Structure 1
């Protein structure tokens, strides 16, 4: 017997609620496993390609793991210290930059100064607030990541989880496919393919765009001699997944530092501006259309909303899972809109009733039914005649004594 649709919706709703409750209650504990699953998901196409090249699954995973560990160690030893040092120096130098901007405005545009205003106090409060915000962000990140699970545990558990999941990824996908409800298996497979296309297209494509832009901005800013150029370039590239936000924040910060460092030498200030203009032109006209594409289904506004909502609900774990959850919800929303447009609520016309049970029809030679009816009549007449013959002796016996 077919399970009613209403009951199926209730069951799937309960399953989704249990999933969100698990993320909320065990968020920090399952964070390494979420990160490990994400790494395995991103590296699975690479392992499949190595398998097609002739390597076994185990050798493919071992090769990928060795390269990934080498890259991670290189980044931790070479890149992270530079970023931390330049970010700290930029925060410490910010009050001096504001003070120099005040002196320039006071000398060249005295009419902009408010009467009786205290610029020193305002700039001091602004710099203190800026420094406090950076401190709060750093403390929040460190407390979120290193509260219940230390950074060492992340560095140990995530690679191990990613290694074993990547080793058995195809087998796990096949097993999950076998567990799908048979009635909805084709629909679930279709939605899973669309989610995979949206998620992989965005994450892998946007990651490559960030890598290219980060290399361009950081190297070019360092070549022109801009202080903190490496940190500003990486920051602008990381924020580039939101259109215009990365180039706006990075460009304003870079030009502000250039005005402070290259005042009186407009050539280098113009060079800094040209670096960001070139990066924006290349990103908008080549990188985004060619690498990310316009059909991945993750609009930047939708992604920002997902980051904000899941970050508030589940903390750092929610921010990590925001991208896959946003891709999933986007695909499900488009699927529901598609079903809505096929429904009577949208068309204004009632849907045709579901077909009833089929009638079994047996094909027989012509005249078969008439023959069966005739035989049935003969049998009935014969039985009736036999009954009459049996009743006649009985009636004769009852009349004979008289």
Structure 2
């Protein structure tokens, strides 16, 4: 088969795959979540297998412990989070009004004249900003919900995902072997090398980032609660959960916590500074200890590329897209590096033999 026909085949296959994902995006969430869960737990199953436990029994043990842990987390944390969330939403208009008044007092008099705005203009602009922010958050939540849950209830998601994960985890090695038997023989070694690079990139980021999110969520929620910040547990959990998006988790948590601290502690600058210090320490831990130790530099996912993939796939496919964004971004990164490597070794870069082109040119 010529190179042109091979390229055409894979381009058509990619287009068909994207089309299928687009058409079925409303029902894919439990299946994609099950596959992701099976992929993350496969090393544990392999470890149990290597210690003399059969694959089926290993799968049962892993999923039973996972489900028990998940149910305990729901029972313990969901009521607390729900209570704080309802309280935060109920107090949001009051907080917005206090922030407007605080900003107006800060810029009143000569400062307002210098900036060329009046107190009334400032309050109106802040009110519009708060309304636009609330509208954006509502539309984002609605988009994610409709994209991931249009045909499935939460109960169905919780039932189907463990079932899919069980079968995928139990048959994982057989599926890998089957796919391997379909590979074109002349490119098998190259595909294996690319697959290993993809697996290292995906697993390194996903498993490492999950641990980072758990640690940061625990640190922020406990620290803010100890400080006495209203809704500190909720804000800390939110900051930890969305820390997989570079800089977004800490930024959102910082803005929310400082905003609440201003309303709660003003004019106690010490308490406000302590809240700020919680996030300064968190960012130091994340950037200098957690990220290098748990994720490292070998993952190869640039923060800008990762943010673009998360927002792009989230916009196209909802929550399903956000689950697929990291694996696909890692795969594209590996393929892009491979393509550049091939280009640098080709005559397109070096020039035809005997033309004077070379590394020194």
**TM above 0.5:** yes
Q: Does 1:148 align with 2:146?
A: no
Residue 379 of structure 1 is matched in structure 2 by none
Aligned residues: 350
CA contact (8 A) 2:27 2:148 kept: no
Residue 217 of structure 1 is matched in structure 2 by 220
TM-score, normalised by the number of residues in structure 2: 0.90
Change (3 A) 1:88 1:119: farther
Q: Secondary structure at the match of 1:117?
A: helix
Residue 75 of structure 2 is matched in structure 1 by 77
1:30-179 map, 5 Å: 30-107=28-105, 109-111=107-109, 112-113=111-112, 114-115=117-118, 117-179=120-182
CA deviation after TM superposition for structure 1 residue 120, in Å: 4.7
Q: Distance in 2 between matches of 1:332 and 1:323?
A: 14
Change (3 A) 1:105 1:296: closer
Change (3 A) 1:42 1:108: closer
Q: Does 1:200 align with 2:198?
A: no
CA deviation after TM superposition for structure 1 residue 249, in Å: 2.3
1:192-271 map, 5 Å: 192-271=195-274
Structure 1 gap ranges (5+): 352-402
Change (3 A) 1:6 1:231: same
Residue 304 of structure 1 is matched in structure 2 by 307
Change (3 A) 1:308 1:142: closer
CA contact (8 A) 2:25 2:148 kept: no
What are the Cα deviations for residues 89-113 of structure 1, in whole angstroms up to 9, with x where unaligned? 3233233223223333444542244
CA contact (8 A) 1:95 1:127 kept: no
Residue 288 of structure 1 is matched in structure 2 by 291
Equivalent of 1:6 in 4, 7, 19: 4
Q: Secondary structure at the match of 2:26?
A: helix
Q: Distance in 1 between matches of 2:302 and 2:42?
A: 25
Q: Does 1:336 align with 2:314?
A: no
Residue 181 of structure 1 is matched in structure 2 by 184
CA contact (8 A) 1:83 1:231 kept: yes
Q: Distance in 1 between matches of 2:196 and 2:6?
A: 22
CA deviation after TM superposition for structure 1 residue 81, in Å: 3.3
Change (3 A) 1:72 1:20: same
The higher radius of gyration belongs to: 1
What are the Cα deviations for residues 210-240 of structure 1, in whole angstroms up to 9, with x where unaligned? 1111100001111111011112112222232
Residue 357 of structure 2 is matched in structure 1 by none
Change (3 A) 1:7 1:130: closer
Q: Distance in 2 between matches of 1:88 and 1:350?
A: 71
Change (3 A) 1:172 1:118: same
Change (3 A) 1:116 1:252: closer
Give me the CA root mean square deviation.
2.2
Deviates more, 1:168-177 or 1:198-207: 168-177
Structure with the bigger RCO (C-alpha within 8 Å, sep 6+) is 2
Q: Distance in 2 between matches of 1:321 and 1:101?
A: 38
CA deviation after TM superposition for structure 1 residue 163, in Å: 0.3
CA contact (8 A) 1:239 1:246 kept: yes
TM-score, normalised by the number of residues in structure 1: 0.81
Q: Distance in 2 between matches of 1:86 and 1:198?
A: 37
